[in-house]
C-alpha cells in the first residue's frame, strides 16, 4: 500500500431495476455515457473482471487494466494489462500504478462481481442512472442512501432511447 490517498471510483451505468448487463454486454446504447466513461477513465488504472475484459476483447488505450480472475493459467500479453487473483491484490496493484502514473484515482470498471467485491474499497460512484426498467441478467448491488451522498447530477435527454442522468455519489464517512 502507499501513503498517498487514492480515490477509488466505480464507474457504472445501471437501470432503475439495477440491471447493468445482458448476454455479456450492456443492454443499451448511450453515446454520451461512452464519452463520459472515456473522460472518467483515461490515464487511470482500471480494475475489471475477466468476463467484462473478454467481452471488450482488448485493453482500452491509455489505461492500465488490472484483470481479476481466479484462473491462475489466464494471461494476456500486453504491456498495459496486469492480472490479479484477488480483489485485495488488484486494489494494491492499481494503487501502485496510480502513484507511478501520477494520478490520484483508480477506476472500478465492473462487471457486477467486481463492483460487489470492490465495494469495501470504493470511495465514490460515478453512476449513470438509466431511467427505465431494463431486461437484464447482471445487476448492481443497491446503494443505500444512508451510505452514499449525492454531490452532482446532470440529466441527459435521449431521443434514441431512455433518458439518463450522470450522478456522483460519495461515500458517507462512518
User: Is the CB of residue 168 less than 8 Å from the CB of residue 128?
Assistant: no
| Interaction of residue 122 with ligand NAP, rule CB under 6 A | no
Residue indicated by cell numbers 446503494: 143
Q: Report residue 88 as a C-alpha cell.
A: 485485495
Task: Give the single-character DSSP code of 174.
Answer: -
| Interaction of residue 55 with ligand NAP, rule CB under 6 A | yes
Residue span binding ligand NAP (CB under 6 A) among the ranges 18-26, 58-66, 143-151, 165-173: 18-26
Find the binder of ligand NAP among 69, 83, 97, 134 (CB under 6 A).
69
Find the binder of ligand NAP among 70, 72, 102, 142 (CB under 6 A).
70
Q: In the chain, what are the helix, strand and coil shares in percent, each to the nearest 5?
A: 25, 30, 45
**Shortest Cβ 120–ligand NAP spacing (Å):** 13
Find the binder of ligand NAP among 13, 106, 143, 156 (CB under 6 A).
13
Distance CA 114, CA 124 (A): 15
Q: How many residues bind ligand NAP (CB under 6 A)?
A: 26
| Interaction of residue 71 with ligand NAP, rule CB under 6 A | yes
Distance CA 25, CA 28 (A): 9
Amino acid at each position: 500500500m502507499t501513503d498517498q490517498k487514492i480515490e477509488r471510483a466505480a464507474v457504472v451505468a445501471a437501470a432503475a431495476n439495477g440491471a447493468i448487463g445482458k448476454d455479456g454486454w450492456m443492454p443499451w446504447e448511450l453515446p454520451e455515457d461512452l464519452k463520459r466513461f472515456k473522460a472518467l477513465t483515461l490515464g487511470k488504472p482500471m480494475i475489471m473482471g475477466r468476463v467484462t475484459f473478454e467481452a471488450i476483447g482488448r485493453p482500452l488505450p491509455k489505461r492500465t487494466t488490472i484483470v481479476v480472475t481466479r484462473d491462475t493459467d489466464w494471461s494476456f500479453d500486453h504491456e498495459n494489462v496486469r492480472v490479479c487473483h484477488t480483489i485485495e491484490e488488484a486494489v494494491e496493484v492499481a494503487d501502485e500504478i496510480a502513484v507511478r502514473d501520477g494520478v490520484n484515482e483508480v477506476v472500478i470498471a465492473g462487471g457486477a462481481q467486481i463492483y460487489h467485491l470492490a465495494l469495501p474499497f470504493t470511495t465514490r460512484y460515478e453512476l449513470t442512472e438509466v431511467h427505465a426498467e431494463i431486461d437484464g441478467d447482471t445487476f448492481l448491488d443497491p446503494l443505500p442512501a444512508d451510505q452514499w451522498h449525492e454531490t452532482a447530477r446532470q440529466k441527459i435527454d435521449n431521443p434514441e432511447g431512455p433518458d439518463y442522468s450522470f450522478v456522483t455519489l460519495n461515500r458517507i464517512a462512518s
